[in-house]
Amino acid sequence: MSMRLNKFLSSCGIASRRKCEEIILAGRVSVNGKVVSNLSTVVNEKSDKVEVDGNAVKLPSQFFYLKMNKPKGYACTASDERGRKTIFDLVENKDVRLFNVGRLDYDTEGLILLTNDGEFANIVTHPKYHFEKEYIVTAEGEVKEGDLAVLRKGVVIDGERMPTARVKLLGYDGKWSKVSVVIDEGQNHQVRRMFEAIGKDIKLLKRVRIGEVHLGGLYRGRTKPMTEKEIAFFKKGI
């Protein structure tokens, strides 16, 4: 199959299409031994030899799409500079080089997707597609209607308004409140910062859904393949 060079590189998991264009323009990519800087270059995945910084890059022979229930205390990185456990310690099949689609904080648990399809990862994480992410927050004390209103409007942190959120109180047992928070952008530590802004400590933060993909009853620390329908949900988004 032939495709644009930036799409090819992104599918190989090099970076997003935009970043791949920068890599091409920087003269780091060669096709059949010749450096190319033309962004409309088309390559054939079977017959062309593509290299980035002198290293051959190839499309995986098979794409894998997994969902994981990440436990608290695992880093979303291939190798943690502080030597902490990573989510890849939990993946049984170590023969395929997978990467995580977006991130969850070290102390956040719940749904994270893993794949070796760079294009898929770009689609799921690209802000322009606005895929919803739903979190269940267990926060200390009572989260009142006024707090929810502030979260809905978008809290202001250091003069910057955080994106609006759909929030719903699921329950309060006299000590802890459970709140469903749905956002469609993913700024760093967004949910934690939102709750910090309303003065509530988070005891547990758990992601339960991305788009139409639900965590469901997947056990903590386990992975399972995404269904065709789940994969198609994201692919049809483009």
Reply yes or no on whether 105 is catalytic.
yes
- Does position 177 interact with ligand URA (CB under 6 A)? The reply is no
Distance from C-alpha of 94 to C-alpha of 27, rounded to nearest angstrom? 33
Distance from C-alpha of 162 to C-alpha of 154, rounded to nearest angstrom? 5
Torsion sign, CA atoms 220, 221, 226, 231: positive
- Does position 191 interact with ligand URA (CB under 6 A)? The reply is yes
Distances from the Cα of 160 to the Cαs of 8, 156, 163, in angstroms?
37, 5, 9
The distance of closest approach from Cβ of residue 195 to ligand URA in the complex, given in angstroms and rounded to an integer, is 8
- Does position 69 interact with ligand URA (CB under 6 A)? The reply is no
Q: Which is nearer to ligand URA, 59 or 75 (CB)?
A: 75
The distance of closest approach from Cβ of residue 5 to ligand URA in the complex, given in angstroms and rounded to an integer, is 33
The distance of closest approach from Cβ of residue 108 to ligand URA in the complex, given in angstroms and rounded to an integer, is 3
Question: What are the residues whose beta carbons fall under 8 Å from the beta carbon of 56, sequence distance 6 or more?
Answer: 49, 50
> Can you tell me which of 100, 108, 122, 223 binds ligand URA, judged by CB under 6 A?
108
For residue 21, count other CB atoms closer than 10 A to its CB.
Answer: 17
Query: Which of these ranges, 12-20, 21-29, 185-193, 214-222, lies near ligand URA under the rule CB under 6 A?
Result: 185-193
Q: Point out which residues bind ligand URA (CB under 6 A).
A: 104-105, 108, 189-192, 205
- Catalogue the active-site residues: 105
